[in-house]
């Protein structure tokens, strides 16, 4: 089965600080991945590289067989990201925000969705 996400030897440096040094993992269809670790472990940096927000210094990073930096617009047609620590419009929770956005999309596209 082909991997959806391929990370091989990922590296990122901020000045003299080595944020990522050889991060390697894959994600296959149907797998669920949890990204845990202490502050400063490189979780956010890895996610930002995967999202094409920041450029890696070394290694390989692909989603759907596409380079996360060069092909980020194509990748974003198929994925989205909402960080858990984001605060939107006061105390609106992420789940409530997603329901709100989904309802808006349903109205705009005239499709019916059951939640």
Evaluate the CA torsion angle 92, 49, 9, 28 in order and state its sign: positive
pLDDT recorded at residue 115? 46
For the beta carbon of residue 80, count every other beta carbon within 10 angstroms: 9
Q: What is the pLDDT of residues 6-22, one digit of tens each?
A: 999 999 999 999 999 99
Structure token digits, residue 92: 């609106």
Question: 10-residue block means of pLDDT along the chain (115 residues)?
Answer: 92 96 94 86 93 95 96 89 68 73 71 48
All structural domains of the chain with their residue ranges? 5-81, 83-115
pLDDT recorded at residue 35? 82
Structural fold of domain 5-81: Rossmann fold (3.40.50)
Q: Which residue in this structure is represented by tokens 């940096």?
A: 45
Contacts of 3 (CB under 8 A, 6+ apart): 26, 27, 28
């Amino acid at each position: 089965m082909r991997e959806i996400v391929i990370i091989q030897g990922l590296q990122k440096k901020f000045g003299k600080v080595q944020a990522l040094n050889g991060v390697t993992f894959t994600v296959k269809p149907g797998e669920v991945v949890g990204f845990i670790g202490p502050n400063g472990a490189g979780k956010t940096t890895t996610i930002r590289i995967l999202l094409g927000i920041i450029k890696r210094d070394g290694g390989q990073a692909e989603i759907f067989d596409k380079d996360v930096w060069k092909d980020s617009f194509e990748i974003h047609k198929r994925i989205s990201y909402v960080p858990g620590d984001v605060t939107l419009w006061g105390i609106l929770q992420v789940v409530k925000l997603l329901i709100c956005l989904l309802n808006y999309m349903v109205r705009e596209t005239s499709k019916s969705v059951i939640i």
